[in-house]
Structure 1
Amino acid sequence: MESIHFTLTQDACILCEACIHDCPSRIIRMVEGFPGILAEDEASCIRCQHCLAVCPTGAISILGLNPSDSLPLGDKPEIDPDALGRFVRGRRTVRQYRPESVDRAVMERLLADTAHAPTGGNTCDLTLTVIDNRPRLVTLLDQVIVAVERALQSGAALPEFMADAVRQYREAQRDDLFRGAPHLLIASAGEKAYCGDADVVIALSYFEFLAHARGLGTMWCDFLKFIFDAVPGTAALFGIPTDRPYRAMVFGHPAVRYARTVQRDHAAQVVYG
């Protein structure tokens, strides 16, 4: 197994033992008077980088990463809780999009931030597949519609909403699948992800709020997953293996603006145990 390259700058270490107490695997211990990881314990490291993040003086490097390249964090949250609550309440599923693409630099920043979403056991075994332009998405949409049509013609028992989507596309050129969005993001979990079902949902949930923070709209595209599950071969059009968990989301510049939040404070049942 490759070394995790845990290194400590002794002159910078204040012996606070924060890294020892915060290590999820409990493999950091005092070695010759300073925090360290024994070679036989390295295989238990989950590569969470908590030791690098928690060290107040930046004395720890791991996985070849320099703490000076991390973003500094203050003692208090940078986001006002009330403002964040209003932001969450104001999030809406967007089903109307402008045709222009999202700037590539913005898209890459969104995906880089999304890569920080938590995964079960910190496996970080996710693939983010992006269809990054509307013409390509329109081509895929047409291919999906053709595949659903053929399945219906062969007598496949598909849900009525799929048949209706085909009719609307053919008769009214209405896109009920991607809603005219210019981009599609599919998060899929790899073989090492033992919480893959949760990992893909968490990743897209993070992406959704990050996108909305930049003025973009998103829509969970479970319709596409239903088609993948019901019509063999459609997932292959997008290069997605269906034997592992995955979820899809469209995004782009919204063609609609919401003036206020909805009212659903009591929509969820709350039970105190």
Structure 2
Amino acid sequence: MLLNCDLGESYGSWTMGLDSEVMPYIDQANIACGFHAGDPDVMQRTLQLAKQHGVQVGAHPAYPDLNGFGRRSMQCSHNEIINLLHYQIAALDGMALAQGVSLSYVKPHGALYNDMMSKPAVWQAVVQAIASYHKPLKLMLLADNNRHTYRTQAAALKVELLFEAFADRRYTDEGRLTPRSASGAVLHGTDVLTQVSELINDGSVTTSSGQRLALNADTLCVHGDNPGAIEQVAQIRALLSRTPA
């Protein structure tokens, strides 16, 4: 299982995350494209860090919501979603080419990600945007109980999917992330490592009700926004390194 992290989310003089500290531990960098965070200088520096550490690069596009960090849903039409995705993906793709880096996948951010997983119309627009881009790109989405349906629909458009799990989020029985407003939605400390170990060894997590849920994830989302998070990512990397080939 690969490790992915949302990076390049600083903007101007405002700093978000410890990108240089987390990059050595991860396999995939989801880089902000300017609509929720990031700017040309931040994108360039993040791409250089990824290149330095041999990390795969993915676009992390969002709704045009810089003030709200992309966490507010917007009522966009099918074509608007396709166009805002193409605009952001192309920006990062072009900057990556200038650095000698190849863009390989897309992971929507925040509210756009949540809407993609809960609203069929948004899902259709997102997968159509990936399918109609000028080169093949994989689409990263949440591993849940609808995995087969998503894979079938994406395959019809010749889009390859990457299913991700979250190291620090509690799951519902349906395979969705427990809302942050609910008690126990975010895991900490040893609870994170316990969930990661369960994913590595059994391909499953224990839900909020105590049920076992199979996820079969391709990649695991981790965070590097504080020193404690960096230490935890290092521990997760060590767990993966001890997994038999």
Q: Which has the higher contact order (CA 8 A, sep 6+)?
A: 1
> Scaled by the length of structure 2, what TM-score is found?
0.23
* Higher Cα Rg, which structure: 1
> Scaled by the length of structure 1, what TM-score is found?
0.21
Tell me which protein shows more strand as a share of its residues: 2
